[in-house]
Amino acid sequence: MVYLSNPIKRTPMQRFVRYFFGIIIIGCLVWAFYSIPYDILREERARLYGEELTSGLVLAVSSDETGGMPDARLIVEYKYVDPDGFARIASARLPNSLWQKYSPGKTVKVIYVRTRPDLARVPGEVEPRFQVWLRELMD
């Protein structure tokens, strides 16, 4: 090993800049880990084991006027039976253009996760962009 008899000393301004940038970088990392949608990651990881197609029954159709998604205000509540024989009720947000297709009493295609039948979706359901991107990436 080589020991320097006169190590380079940082000025107070250099130390301040290093601490400042260190705090900023750590803050950005904490924010990045906090903003990762772990629930979506868990859902898509379960979907990797396979999905099954079944049919369900539309129970109710409503419109969400809160304004979060103006092109997808249609909310369909449906019931389907999983492989264990349990009837499950779920809801899906669909584009406004599908309003005529779904009415109470009609059947709907339901795609559920083989290992977790409580995770279900309807073809054409409006999902977060991150979830669609992640599913395409995994396929």
**Is 47 within the bounds of a domain?**
no
Average confidence (pLDDT) over 80-92: 90
Contacts of 32 (CB under 8 A, 6+ apart): none
**Is 108 within the bounds of a domain?**
yes
Report the alpha-carbon distance of residue 63 to residue 55 in Å, rounded. 22
Average confidence (pLDDT) over 3-15: 79
**pLDDT-derived band at 129, boundaries 50, 70, 90:** confident
**Is 20 within the bounds of a domain?**
no
Average confidence (pLDDT) over 26-42: 89
Our count of domains for the chain comes to 1
Q: Tell me the residue range of the domain where 73 lies.
A: 55-138
**Is 22 within the bounds of a domain?**
no
At residue 3, does pLDDT exceed 70? Answer: no
**Is 131 within the bounds of a domain?**
yes
Q: How many residues does the chain have?
A: 139
- Give the percent of the chain with pLDDT over 90: 29
Q: Which of 20-29, 40-49, 118-127 has the lowest mean pLDDT?
A: 40-49
Report the alpha-carbon distance of residue 83 to residue 53 in Å, rounded. 11
